Amino acid sequence: MPASLSVRLESQPGHPQKKGVPLMPNLDLWTFALNCYAREGVETACLELQSQGADVCVLICAAWLEARGVACNQERMCALEEVAAPWRHIVVEPLRELRQAWRSPAEQDEALRELRKTLKTLELQAERSLLERLQTASREWDESADANQWLSALAPKGSCRVALETLRNAAYQTQLELAGV
C-alpha cells in the first residue's frame, strides 16, 4: 500500500488495522470489481489497458490483491496467468470478438442488436467466472508488509501509466469505501 494512503488511513478514527481487523473486508472479487469498475474513469482506463493487450480481469484481481496488501511475486503472477489464459482464449476472447464484429451490422438489424445484447451478457458472465477462478487461486495468499506492486508487474508495457494509476486509485478508493473508512 502506498505510504501516503497508509498514513491517511491510519489517521482515521477507528481505523480497522489499529484493532487488528483487515483493512478491507474479505469481500469477493466480483463485488470489489463491480465497485471499482463503477468509479469515474475506470472503464476508459480498462479499455485502454485491454487495447494494449492486458487482461482486465487479471488487472482487476491485481488491484484487489494490491489493495488488500497481498505480496506480489513471480510465482503468484504465474499462478494467476495459468488460471486466466485458458479461460480468456477459449471463452472470453471469442465472445468479445464476435460481439465487436456484430457492432456495425447490429446498428441496422434489430434481431442482431438483441443477439448482441445477449452476447454481451454472456461475455460478462464469462468474466465473472474468471474473477471467481482468480479469487479461488489466490484464496490462501496472506496480507504482507512487503511492497506489492501487482498492477505495475502485470500491466502491459508501453504508455499506459495514466490508465494504470486510474485503476490503482480506484482500487484504493474502493478499499476505503468497502472498509467503511
Q: Is residue 63 in a domain? A: yes
Q: Which one-letter DSSP state was computed for residue 70? A: B
In this prediction, residue 146 has a pLDDT band, given cuts at 50, 70 and 90, of low
> Is position 9 within any domain?
no
Query: What is the domain range of residue 90?
Result: 22-179
Q: For residue 15, is it within any domain?
A: no
Task: Give the pLDDT mean for 46-61.
Answer: 94
Distance set, CA 26 to CA 5, 119, 146 (Å): 19, 31, 20
Whether 122 is covered by a domain: the verdict is: yes
**Arithmetic mean of pLDDT, 12-34:** 59
Find the range with the poorest average confidence among 22-31, 78-87, 156-165: 22-31
* Residue 5 lies inside a defined structural domain of this protein: no
In a domain, 134, yes or no: yes
Q: Is 87 within the bounds of a domain?
A: yes
The whole-number pLDDT of residue 180 equals 79
Taking residues 168-178, what's their average pLDDT? Answer: 91
Q: What is the pLDDT of residues 1-10, one digit of tens each?
A: 333 333 333 4
Examine residue 152 and state whether it is found in any structural domain, yes or no. Answer: yes
For residue 157, CA distances in Å to 46, 51, 54, 88, 167 come to 14, 12, 9, 19, 16
pTM score of the predicted model: 0.82
Number of folded domains in the chain? 1
